[in-house]
Each structure stands twice: as structure tokens, then as C-alpha cells.
């Protein structure tokens, strides 16, 4: 599950980067760049939220008495 989320985040980042480069070269559409960057940002926020939940769960397990 985490591997898939990380892969999607990387893919979204690459798509945003490719759109930005195309727009900078005069071959892309600004609306596509904005959409791609927004999708990459949302994906990154999701990955960070999942990471925080995993860390919190791990800390909770460490606090459990043996």
C-alpha cells in the first residue's frame, strides 16, 4: 500500500515537471501545468499524512507495555 502511494506521488511529480518544462519551452498549456502541479501537491500532502499516521502508530506501539 505504501509503495503504491509513493509510486503515485513520484508519477504525479514527474507529470507536473514534464508539463512545466513543456510550458517553459512554449509547447504546453498553462492550465495543464496548473492542474498537474495541483495534483502533485495533493498527492504529496496525502503521502505526508499517511507517513505521519504510520509514525504515530509506531510510537504508540513503542509505548505499549511488554
Indicate the length of the chain as a whole number. Answer: 66
Give CB contacts under 8 A, 24+ apart, made by 16-21. 16/40
* pTM, 2 dp: 0.69
Q: Which of 43, 45, 20, 17 is nearest to 31 (CA)?
A: 20
Domain range for 16 = 2-63
Number of domains in the chain: 1
pLDDT, tens digit, for every residue of 26-55?
777 788 878 888 888 888 898 889 889 999
Exposed / middle / buried, residue 43 (Cβ in 10 Å: 0-12, 13-18, 19+): buried
pLDDT, tens digit, for every residue of 2-32?
677 778 778 888 888 888 888 888 777 788 8
Amino acid at each position: 500500500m505504501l509503495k503504491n502511494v509513493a509510486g503515485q506521488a513520484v508519477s504525479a511529480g514527474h507529470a507536473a515537471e514534464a508539463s512545466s518544462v513543456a510550458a517553459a519551452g512554449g509547447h504546453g498549456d498553462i492550465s495543464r501545468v496548473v492542474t498537474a502541479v495541483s495534483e502533485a501537491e495533493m498527492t504529496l500532502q496525502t503521502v505526508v499524512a499517511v507517513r505521519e499516521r504510520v509514525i504515530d502508530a509506531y510510537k504508540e506501539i513503542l509505548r505499549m507495555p511488554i
